[in-house]
Amino acid sequence: MTDQTHYDIAIIGGGIMGCSTALRLASGGMSAIVLDQGDLGQGASGVNAGTLSLQIKRVKLMPYALKGHHLWEEMGDAVGFAKTGGYTLAFNAREAEMLHERQTMKAKAGAPIEFVSNNRLRAAEPNLTQKVQAASFCPEDGYANSSLTGQYYRGRLQDAGIPYREGCKVTAIDQGAAFTLHTAQGKITATRILLAAGAWLKPLAALLDVDLPVNARVNTVSVTERMPPLMSSVIGHATGLLTMKQKANGTVLVGGGWQGLGTPQDGRGTVNTATVKPNLALAQYAVPALAKARVTRSWTGFEANVPDFYPLAGALPNVPNAFVLGCVRGGYTIGPYIGQLMGDSILGREPEMPLFDPGRDFEKDTI
């Protein structure tokens, strides 16, 4: 850690968004510091299901997701990356219709998604239920190990010489010629600030009298003990309410955005048994042999969003030199890339793809 207390930019939030932006800014010559109220990469970045699936990305975010996929592939073993391909399943006629409609639009947006026959599906995934009505496949799909996020970015920041402080909650921000951040570890001044605190963006922006309409979803993930091979690709459901993959060590990770309880302001969320049960039931319906696998842990993570479910990425309204990055649906996949775009924008460069104005009217379809 350095004795310096003034930085070109202070980044509040040490998840994927904050860290990837910090790396871009440092490579562009800015002095940056990353502050996190807890440990690096222990929020949504570190507790999500790690699914890297183009089949569950929003159509308009597909170009960003494709770029994100390439960055994850480059990070490789250090983040537990595996490109397995992924199947999305429909179990009845209504779901089959939804699958066709949605995946066709995503394919048009650039994702290499195709519909596959039952025979091909069974040859690839013999442990799947016989009750599949329709299935799509994307060879780009796979996963990374989200619990390695903190370890990975800690190393990257250290290698880049970027200071970071963990357990360093920002309690107040003074505006003047520079920003003065009051933290659990003393004062820090910076010419610019980037708010990248995920589900905690709303209380953070409130320190600057900005009201961001940020809500938090409480997504649940469960994992089983090590099992013999049951599936070799990422398995999803037409509604998006199941994502499942078996890791190299044999554990099976089950997600799908089922909602737990709690709010970011109250601290950590908690699992809601009433929603874990149908999540697990759906997993068992898809792969019946999972019934015998013991569930060892279920947990939740806060996923932030705004009413139009598009990212906040750009200048914070009405506060010069303050920026915000967050609320990216599919943020794990897209995070490393949109952080680079955010960094370029702060460096005064034209980003490769457009950012998302945090000052837009969220009730209108402006994206």
The contact set with another protein (CB under 8 A) reads 39-42, 46, 56, 58-59, 91-92, 98, 102, 105, 131, 147-151, 154-155, 158, 166-167, 223-225, 238-241, 257, 259, 268, 270-273, 276-278, 280-285, 290-299, 309, 329
Shorter beta-carbon distance to another protein: residue 14 or 322: 14
Closest approach of another protein to the CB of residue 353, in Å: 20
- Closest approach, Cβ 59 to another protein, in A, equals 6
Closer Cβ to another protein, 56 or 195, answer by number = 56
Give the residue with the Cβ less far from another protein, 178 or 299.
Answer: 299
Query: Measured between alpha carbons, how far is residue 273 from residues 67, 182, 266, 281, 292 in Å?
Result: 36, 39, 19, 12, 19
User: Are 48 and 197 in contact, with CB atoms under 8 Å apart?
Assistant: no
d(CA 122, CA 120): 5
Residue 241 per-residue DSSP state: -
CB 19 within 8 A of CB 202: no
Cβ partners under 8 Å of residue 22, min gap 6: 11, 32, 34, 157, 160, 162, 343
Indicate the residue among 322 and 330 with the shorter CB distance to another protein: 330
- If phi > 0 it is left, if psi is from -120 to 50 it is alpha, else beta; for residue 104 that is alpha
Whole-number minimum distance, CB 105 to another protein, in Å? Answer: 7
User: Least distance in Å: CB of 294 to another protein?
Assistant: 4
Q: C-beta of 309: minimal distance to another protein in Å?
A: 5
- In the bound complex, what is the minimum distance in angstroms from residue 93's beta carbon to another protein? 12
Beta carbons within 8 Å of 32's beta carbon, 6+ residues apart? 7, 8, 9, 10, 11, 22, 25, 26, 162
Residue with smaller CB distance to another protein, 175 or 272: 272
Measured from the CB atom, is 318 or 366 closer to another protein? 366
User: Which residues are paired to 7 by β-bridges?
Assistant: 190
